[in-house]
Copies of this chain bind each other. A is one copy, B any other.
Amino acid sequence: MVIVMAPGATQDDIESVVLLVASAGGEAFVSRGVSRTIIGLIGDVEQFAALNLRGLPGVADVVRVSTPYKLVSRDNHPERSTVTVRGVPIGPDTVTLIAGPCAVETPMQTLEAAEMAKTAGATLLRGGAFKPRTSPYAFQGLGEKGLRILADVREQTGLPIVTEVVDAHDVALVASYADMLQVGTRNAQNFALLQAVGAAGKPVMLKRGMTATIEEWLMAAEYIAQRGNLDIVLCERGIRTYETATRNTLDISAVPVVQRMSHLPVIVDPSHSGGRRDLVLPLTRSAIAVGADGVIIDVHPHPEEALCDGPQALVDGDLDELAMIMQEFPKLMSRTLATTPPGA
């Protein structure tokens, strides 16, 4: 941690900082420049944070030089992790395809979407039973009825289930059906929910907040990890910018950036980032090529009837090309398409 003093800071101001740091068990190194003085701190950063150094007279800025997240950081865990969902790996050796309908609507629609997903190479089924919606007048999901449909479709297709949970108090219920819990973009700072999924004993897919910095995203993961759950997969799904041609701006650079900062796997959602069907396949190729550990894609048998985000779902006619991408692109990255474990 480095304290930058203001140009007019007095000798007393500087000594106050040094004494305060010492009182917290740290050491302070003072360096005087032509117009400013800087003070380097050595010791326990958490304790320094409690000192409110920024509020002291004469202090212009406090620059933090080590990362505030620990459990999810790659600093202390250089090898990249693989998270396993009922035997299906998500990690550095594979590319995992997760696909399914945005929302579970009917048993038939869910089964058809799952079959589409499988055809394209998916080994995990996505599908929402609880939907967070901006408008209170929009379809909010089938709730537990939707979870039962997902469980039936898992039975019929063998695909483990990834599904969203939107309220801390639904975590136990959702976890009793799901193989992986999804935390959505609107809940990226719902700390009660993050802690609850951290304690649920199931792998978690954590979407990036719509306007979260990479650091905030990793801090959200740290909330989950702190409860003892390190089976976390991060999902880049586009950020909010001034550009309105796409629903969000897919931050493709975030994939390699986060993979350097954290040992957790990182996947990409090409459906929700662009919000347009015609962008899904180009962005899928782009995600695999940049080094993503997987992709999560909306498919729908009848998108014109979809109750949620129909315009971005892939349809039957897109599946051959998706399957081709899943066959060819992982190879170029020296990876394999993730498969269901034998006997699953």
- A61: chain B residues at CB < 8 Å are 65
Residues in A lying within 8 Å of B, measured CB to CB: 2, 4, 7, 29, 31-36, 38, 40-43, 46, 49-50, 52, 54-56, 61, 63, 65-66, 68-69, 75, 132-138, 166-169, 186-187, 189-192, 210-211, 213-216, 219, 222-223, 226, 239-246, 249-257, 260, 273-274, 278-279, 282-283, 285-291, 303-307, 310-311, 328-329, 332
A246 touches B242 (CB 8 A): no
B246 touches A273 (CB 8 A): no
A249 touches B246 (CB 8 A): no
Query: How many monomers of this chain does the complex have?
Result: 4
Cβ of A159 to closest chain B Cβ, rounded Å = 25
Cβ of A103 to closest chain B Cβ, rounded Å = 12
- A303: chain B residues at CB < 8 Å are 52, 55
- A285: chain B residues at CB < 8 Å are 289-291, 332
Cβ of A285 to closest chain B Cβ, rounded Å = 4
Known A65-B4, A289-B329, A290-B285; judge A211-B240 contact (CB<8 A). yes
Q: Please, which residue of chain B has its CB at the minimum distance from the CB of A69?
A: B135
A241 touches B239 (CB 8 A): yes
Given contacts A55-B306, A56-B304, A134-B216, 13 further A-B contacts (CB under 8 A): A2-B38, A35-B75, A36-B66, A38-B40, A50-B307, A134-B189, A166-B192, A241-B249, A244-B244, A256-B279, A256-B283, A289-B289, A328-B332
B211 touches A210 (CB 8 A): yes
Roughly how many angstroms separate A215 CA and B288 CA in the complex, as a whole number?
28
